[in-house]
Amino acid sequence: MVPVRRKLDHREAVLAVDGDHGGEAGACRYVGDVSVVAEQRTTDIKAGPGGVMTDEVGVVTGDLTLRSELDDAGAVTLRVQYKDAAEWYAVTGGKAKLAAPADLDAVHGIAVALLNRPEG
């Protein structure tokens, strides 16, 4: 396991991509922020008319899997994927700070109730 810390300490620096000059073109020099998912809940849903809006690809429709992720800072993020696909997409507006980690179940249940529309 690799220990992950929220902030850099004395004499520490942000990780950077070494790059493969003969391989991948356009490798990013900054690897980005690392977030640790402390807990998560998943449920298969069927998007209703209009689908589910995501930040990355816009509207997704049909049979989806909804995942509610709680990070180590107490923030929940909602993500969806096409059922059995590899890619996850952030639900637009689907991020909030929870008062307590125990609230994850309630938030996930509400998200399922809002987004799951098997009857259309």
- In this structure, is residue 91 part of a structural domain? yes
Query: What are 107's two structure tokens?
Result: 């938030």
| φ, ψ of residue 111 in degrees (nearest 5) | -60, -40
State pLDDT tens for residues 69-113: 999 999 999 999 999 999 999 999 999 999 999 999 999 999 999
- In this structure, is residue 90 part of a structural domain? yes
**The pLDDT value given to residue 31:** 45
- Report how many domains make up the chain: 1
Kindly report whether the global pTM for this prediction surpasses the value 0.75: no
Q: Is the pLDDT of residue 16 over 60?
A: no
- In this structure, is residue 62 part of a structural domain? yes
Say how far apart CA 99 and CA 68 lie, in whole Å.
15
- In this structure, is residue 11 part of a structural domain? no
Q: Are 46 and 116 in contact (CB under 8 A)?
A: yes
Residue 94 lies in domain: 37-115
- In this structure, is residue 10 part of a structural domain? no
- In this structure, is residue 50 part of a structural domain? yes
- In this structure, is residue 46 part of a structural domain? yes
Residue holding tokens 């008319």? 49
Residue holding tokens 């998560």? 40
Strand order in the sheet with 37-46: 37-46, 63-71, 75-82, 89-97, 52-54, 58-60
Q: Are 49 and 117 in contact (CB under 8 A)?
A: yes
